[in-house]
Structure 1
Amino acid sequence: MRTQRDVYAHLNNEVLHLANQGVTINEIHNVYSLPESLKQNWAAHSYHGSEEHNSRAVINRYLGYWDANPATLMPLSPADSAPLYVEMMGGAGKIIPKGKELYNKGEYFAAVEILNKLVYAEPENQKAKDLLADVYEQIGYQKESPSVRNSFLAAAYELRNGLPPGEAVSSASADTIRGMSTELWLDFLGISMDSSKVGGQEFVINLVTPDNKEKFIVELSNSVLTNIKGEQAEKADLTITVDRKDLEKVMGAAATFDSLIKEGKATFEGDHKAFDVLREAMVGFTPDFEMVPGASPKKGTSQAKAPL
């Protein structure tokens, strides 16, 4: 217990000590290290989390993600900046041999610095992706923290093979849906809505769930969907009445409002256009987007249903 106390106390105090001497969030992971006495204690090793990740997290907690250098305040996206770097380095023909040289020397992070830019600039360059994957693999093999190791090894796999096909993992079990509040689900609708599709649209919907005596105002304005619990608008464009137990079928994508209306389990009073606008703007999310360049989803990946 004393070891664990000292690990986290040292991490917090030493990182802030260094931050007060000007070490930034983009440098701290290369500067901070545990004292030798803790390094020699197996219980203090990075079996969960890592010093590199957690040292940055300490600065982020107290000072935020920005290092106060204006060059990093609004940086170009990697895909936009990478072509410039690649051009200035002389193109893939020079970068790949240098990357191999650094790899052979064991200077893996230096190799990542140039190869990652090449892969962003040329995401279809499989030779570059394979070399970067080799580098990531070696870094991963050397990391004690499982989460850090798996990050590098997963990136290596995706660079070589692309994202694996198959069904996306679903967390929308019946128990999960029952445990989700109606208010939380309405917040999720606000996240799922593509705001670019509702520009200039405005409406107010009353939602009533009689079986649990809940009521909500759902409002679209300024391209954002918000809700207020426990209230009803006097002049709503539409009032939707549905028991919470039936609404859960919509929440879990086991039914739609259209099917509930046909079954007599939901009623719409007012202008259906408000609901139609909302439904057309909904987007279904699947966790199959790439995290490393050039690993776009292969054919056959699943598409999630929109949440209405």
Structure 2
Amino acid sequence: MKTLCLALISVNLAGAAMADVIPKPATEFTREANRKVLAELPFDDTRDFVDASRGFIARPDFMQIKDDKGNVVWDMESYKRFISSNKSAPDTVNPSLWRNAQLNMEYGLYKVADHIYQIRGFDLSNATFIEGKTGWIVFDTLLSQETGKAALDFINKTLGERPVVAVVYSHPHADHYGGVRGMVSEADVLSGKVPIIAPEHFSEHAIKENVIAGNAMSRRAVYMYGAMLERGERGSINAGLGQTISSGQVSLLLPTHEIKQSIEEMEIDGVKMVFQLTPGTEAPAEMNTWFPQFKALWMAENVTNTMHNLLTLRGAEVRDPIKWSDGLNTTIETWGDQVQVRFQSHHWPSWGNANIVDGLKKQRDLYKYIHDQSVRMLNQGMTGEEISETIQLPPSLSHYWPNRGYYGTLRHNSRAVYQRYMGWYDGNPSSLNNEPPEMVAPKYVQFMGGEDAVLKKAAESYQKGDYRWVAEVLKHVVFANPKNQPAKELLADAYEQLGYQAESGPWRSIYLQGASELRKGLPTGSATKSSSPDTIREMTPDMLFDYLAVRLLPQKAEGRTLSLNVHFPDIGIHRGLNLENSVLNHSRKLNRKADADITLSKTTLNAILLREMTLEEAISQRKIRITGNQQALPQLMSMMDTFQFWFPIVTP
């Protein structure tokens, strides 16, 4: 009998770096590409450095955060060893990305405006503290409860002890709510002492994002954030939005109040707040906040000091650039004539009305431009690949530092627009039913004269600095023969140089992680659940049944039918489950003639999901009662697939 558990796992990033991979130096072609960046962009514009350091109050003498077992979950010291504000970009780092990394090294406690403070550089995101009459109103709580606690402890130590009187989640990405238990207790939230405010549908999206495609997203996040890479000039520099992600315990306490009006006002502890809902922008549920007393505008993650993602490289639904642009336009029209300081959940603030409005307009127009020009070109018959190779920003947008592609990029965002409107098919008949890499690679290699011939030609292209072509050609050799180590080594070399040239932190990390896995094979770091215990406890039965449905193995379910009624008397939920046609459906309507009725509490279900007890133990202890076919539930669970976390990406 299989244990009922969620195979939602992600890498335990602490201490899992592949230290024995020896990166190579930059080639002359990479050095020349990076020199061109220095010549093309306005590096004499240093206003960001002034803004990033403005309002500095204090920082810890030693910046390393550990969990209760002594494991390091956040380590700025590893970056301080080689990134400094007075050091020029190494040959192995795009100078624009190096500039971003230098700015992100401005960490500690900062005063944004009267009564507004930020802790920056304690995680990928910022924690913002609004000083009320009696305590702190916290806007976003970082990713891990360890880093959240460290942020609260540091501001209290520096400015004096104050309780947290309210928490505001800007949107349902984990780096904005995961540290909540480090700042407030569940008892205080449940009693109403500490309200948690969030945009409408926050809970649904916060939980769902980690469930259905959580395994694949988490695996690809290893590539995107570079957290397994060695910190250094030939390794991890930063993730664009911040240095990287922390590796502590992600927690979740659900909101006690959801903002449902497009513009909604609230006052807590003497602080007036006006929330602007912006659904479907950077997140499915998101909101900005205006502080009329302070003339301050909190932009959540709708504005940062980088071009953001329309499609995140770890995988997600494509975001809507029109809604994003419209949301920013509404912000400008509503508060543009009053705002004196703009701050957000990543990076540093901006001050001065004219400067802020100009920045909001430039980011508004950035997303509108990417949308409009991508759609114009697709209507001319261009494919996503062709659009990404052709589209360029006008200098007024591209030379504005906060529009640079440190996180999202113009290339992959334009492809996202194509995907949003046109889907995966580019219209060419050869793409309609094309063969996957494992099938097509041997044929490519044979057509090109065999592995040795391809490798020889690829080496010649590498010597010419044509790294994109080397990557395109050698991936076929590697997929045709993953034991061809010279091909893997040269492909890794090409990825490495592409990483060194990348302006985007995630692009750099993806290339370098790919190179590492080609050279050393799949990582062997330990794996932990990316769905935290809090997330699992808050999953509804419907979410669970949706997840079970995507785990169903059709080979085992073929020709079989099964009907179950599942009862959760403690929460008053009853569902009918039906297996037929190799599909598992769930319904609010119970089956009249079920094979079995299953009764259990949500608490028991949580214990099984968290592996605190097995399905067998729950049945034997009568915490699960089965009426009818006693084997019905075990039979269903025997048909479930399991997801391996360390699936290959750069090899078949």
- Whether TM-score is above 0.5 comes out as yes
Q: 2:434, 2:612 → 1: CA distance?
A: 43
Structure 1 counterpart of 2:627, from 269, 286, 289: 269
1:35-50 aligned at under 5 Å gives the runs 35-50=394-409
**Is the aligned partner of 1:74 residue 2:433?**
yes
Aligned to 2:591: 233
Identical aligned residues as a percent: 38
Normalising by structure 2, we get a TM-score of 0.44
1:281-296 aligned at under 5 Å gives the runs 281-293=639-651
Shift of 1:28: 1.5
Shift of 1:289: 0.3
Equivalent AA in structure 1 for residue 571 of structure 2: N
Shift of 1:201: 0.6
Runs (5+) with no aligned partner, structure 1: 295-308
**Is the aligned partner of 1:136 residue 2:458?**
no
Normalising by structure 1, we get a TM-score of 0.92
Aligned residues of 1:172 and 1:252 also touching (Cα < 8 A): no
Runs (5+) with no aligned partner, structure 2: 1-359
1:65-104 aligned at under 5 Å gives the runs 65-104=424-463
Shift of 1:167: 2.1
Q: Secondary structure at 1:14's aligned position in 2?
A: helix
Greater relative contact order (Cα < 8 A, sep 6+): 2
Q: 2:392, 2:521 → 1: CA distance?
A: 35
Question: Deviations along 1:186-231, whole A, 9 cap, x unmatched?
Answer: 11111112121111110100000111111000110001111013x3
Q: Secondary structure at 1:79's aligned position in 2?
A: helix
Structure 2 counterpart of 1:193, from 552, 566, 575: 552
Aligned residues of 1:239 and 1:268 also touching (Cα < 8 A): yes
Question: Deviations along 1:149-199, whole A, 9 cap, x unmatched?
Answer: 111111111111111113223123221111111110011111112121111
**Is the aligned partner of 1:219 residue 2:545?**
no
* Higher relative helix content: 1
Equivalent AA in structure 2 for residue 30 of structure 1: E
Cα RMSD (Å):
1.3
Q: Secondary structure at 1:200's aligned position in 2?
A: coil
Moved over 6 A (4+): none
Aligned to 2:366: 7
Aligned residues of 1:177 and 1:252 also touching (Cα < 8 A): yes
Equivalent AA in structure 1 for residue 361 of structure 2: R
1:100-249 aligned at under 5 Å gives the runs 100-229=459-588, 231-249=589-607
Q: 1:193, 1:16 → 2: CA distance?
A: 38
Shift of 1:26: 2.8
Greater displacement, 169-178 / 144-153: 169-178
Q: 1:239, 1:145 → 2: CA distance?
A: 53
**Is the aligned partner of 1:51 residue 2:413?**
no
Shift of 1:284: 2.3
Structure 1 counterpart of 2:636, from 267, 275, 278: 278
Shift of 1:256: 2.5
Aligned to 2:609: 251
* Higher relative strand content: 2
Shift of 1:254: 2.5
Shift of 1:79: 1.1
Question: Deviations along 1:8-53, whole A, 9 cap, x unmatched?
Answer: 1111111111111121123221111212222221111001111111
Shift of 1:272: 2.3
Q: 2:650, 2:535 → 1: CA distance?
A: 31
Shift of 1:245: 1.0
- Size of the aligned set, in residue pairs, is 293
Q: 2:487, 2:540 → 1: CA distance?
A: 47
Q: 1:134, 1:266 → 2: CA distance?
A: 55
